[in-house]
Structure 1
């Protein structure tokens, strides 16, 4: 009897529980005061949990910025995201400054909009709000970036060389460069013997063994239907009449 009563009590509590979710509030810049349904919560970014499912009003305010009021829908068991870019209050004096923080490679000199900048030991320096051209000189050369600085906000910039441009892979049918007798396909393994050259490759691998030495090419052997495709530069090399 007691067990039944306890189980019934648990069911009553479960049924009486209000379905809830949460809201994750972020702003740019951060540090805005946040109200939810008229109650002050704190400063962004923040997470407010155990909110009843349904629509809620989120208020945002920060000195020097326009206040915002948003409607956010909360779903049971889920976290709703509210991300807001605040607009500068035109009535406030001055645009304000932010900071730029450099990370990554060691640098020798820094310029912002053509003027020398002097980052501190932590890599940060003050900058006016707005868009800027940032130039960083490293041992590997100059790196140029376009950055946006927000008032009272730190903009993090990773200093690293530009990625090398990716060269397109050019492949061609092997039967247009080599006689069928020179090409052997054994499962995943490709063996080609022609003109004194000895080539071994595998489907899906860009590593080949050419004349006893390992070599890397820009494309792997590929079978399209019954035709074998290989990198054009490799076919040109193998189809030459004389061995290396």
Structure 2
């Protein structure tokens, strides 16, 4: 019995896969987005207890998202080789959405930390006129579009999130959440690499003899492993 005889046509699994693509994963991503907005709000207002709780809740959502992606991956691995191209086109949008959401979540905190470090390390930055170049309209802070365009760095400094004090529980819970987000990002990347690898393997087997296909797989494996290692290496 060939390996592909254990697999099924995409149309048999499509309803279950579509449920993950259209409902389950988008719901998780929307919940993650709400956590991100709450985290921004509590951190900006320095409500550390609430921030700590939100970090924990966001971590649970990330774990649920990881679990659902793994379940979808199990279904995808059951699809027959001739349907892998269609499968890839089907899952690519939600995979890219998950990758973008994770990156945005991580980048927000990273940029704030880097910006705050610049402000504390370079006292001259705090003395630059651009940081106070604003007008007050009706008692509310207001910066003109021209000023923001001329000096985007000043806007970054204005909107940078405050640093979480190390003695707050929120500092530790963020580190845990950050590790979960990085693991989620790696899972999404590895899942994408796996689908691409399977598709290329099928092309090798279809265009050449089985022997030629085996040689092609041997050539692809180092690249796959290299990309997987690279995806897990911090930037």
Q: What TM-score bracket applies, with the shorter chain setting the length?
A: under 0.3
Between Structure 1 and Structure 2, whose CA radius of gyration is higher?
1
TM-score, normalisation: structure 1 = 0.20
| Higher RCO (CA 8 Å, separation ≥ 6 residues) | 2
The structure where helix makes up a greater share of residues is 2
The structure where strand makes up a greater share of residues is 1
